[in-house]
Amino acid sequence: MEPDRQPNIPETRTQPYSGSFMLLFLICAALTGAMGIWTCLPQTQRIMTNTAFNGSWTSAYETLFDKNLDIYESSTNFWGLLNYTVFKEGRTGVLIGQNGWLFTTEEFQNPPKSQKNLRENTDYILKVHNTLKKKDIELLVALIPAKARVYSGQLGRYSYPLSRKAAYHNLRSSLKGNGVTVTDILWIMERKKDDFDVFLRTDTHWSPAGAKLAAYQIAHETKKAFPALSLPQESFSVSMGKESEYRGDLLRYIPLGSWQRIGPRPDTLKIPEISQEEKSSPSLFADEILPVTLVGTSYSANPLWGFEGFLRESFGTKILNTADEGMGPFEVMEKYLKDDALKTNPPKLVVWEIPERYLNLPYEMEEFTP
């Protein structure tokens, strides 16, 4: 298989003024530093004279540092502005596409032993499937396609790695061939991506609209794959809150300070709100039944996207959300398999949300027993 190509970054000869701008920046930085030292010198001498013997030397220097912190931040923001406006680049971790679209470099990287990691992670999914099957629990894998795959047309001068283009479909085929139900979220996102943003432009995550598409596709696939699966029905509905500005996590890699208005425009976000229709005569002493368990990452855990709510609405049933924002999909599943929740409240269905960009990363998972 052909190795991953690095992002198609334009050569330096296409940027004839880059050397001049770099020289200008270095001169400005040197002058700023010299001015800072010149300004601080008298204060430093006073500190050494007045505080060396009274125990407040550290406190005095902290005050001096805070006073000159603005100089450092201004220099950082100036370089961020220059880097963005001239070179269309940010800090390591972000790729700047076109029309205000930002992408994480995680979707382009090819870690060591990438193919080995992919095979091991695929084997782990199969082990989880077999383990849950022995407990009479159905598993549905919700494979979230990479944002750069869905919006490859917005990558601008970059291109999606060739070796990854077939990975999504190959994994689905491999899992389906081994009896695992995998929802195809890619096709519905590609079909609707031009009607509305299924991913946030300045964030690594999907938009609430993309989360809703995925949830309804998952519910549809569940009914088709498990026709005998009976879930207790309740009425849930999701309403969208007031629209507000949202600065995605990728904007942190483009430090512009007071020049933020020059940078990529923040997203607008309506936070989904879930509501449940009360039954006419609820039983106060009835045991709560949670027939569906959601296992996943920040795509499922963060209420800003509303994925759990949309799942409840589309399934029409209660859901136990065990997703974790600070962990990868395989680590979260390992944690769930060892949790008492699986013993005390075994579900009928587990929905396992797995972002595509995690599949070729190494995980050291412990062996678990059914």
- Which residues does the annotation mark as catalytic? 203, 205, 298
Q: Is the dihedral of CA 192, 193, 196, 200 positive or negative?
A: positive
DSSP-derived secondary structure for 94-147: EEE-STT-EEEGGGT---TTHHHHHHHHHHHHHHHHHHHHHTT-EEEEEEEPPH
| Secondary structure class of 24 (helix, strand, coil) | helix
Are the C-beta atoms of 128 and 333 separated by less than 8 Å?
yes
Written as one letter, the residue type at 51 is: T
Which of 146, 219, 209 has the alpha carbon at shortest distance from 183? Answer: 219
The answer to whether the beta carbons of residues 272 and 240 sit under 8 Å apart is yes
d(CA 47, CA 49): 5
Task: Return the exposure string of 32-61: e unless at least 16 CB atoms fall within 10 Å of the residue's CB, then b.
Answer: eeeeeeeebeeeeeebeeeeeeeeeeeebe
Q: Which long-range contacts (CB under 8 A, 24 or more apart) does 50-57 make?
A: none
Q: Which of 225, 308, 317 is nearest to 274 (CA)?
A: 308
* Spatial CB neighbours of 363, under 8 Å, sequence gap ≥ 6: 117, 120, 121, 124, 328, 330, 331
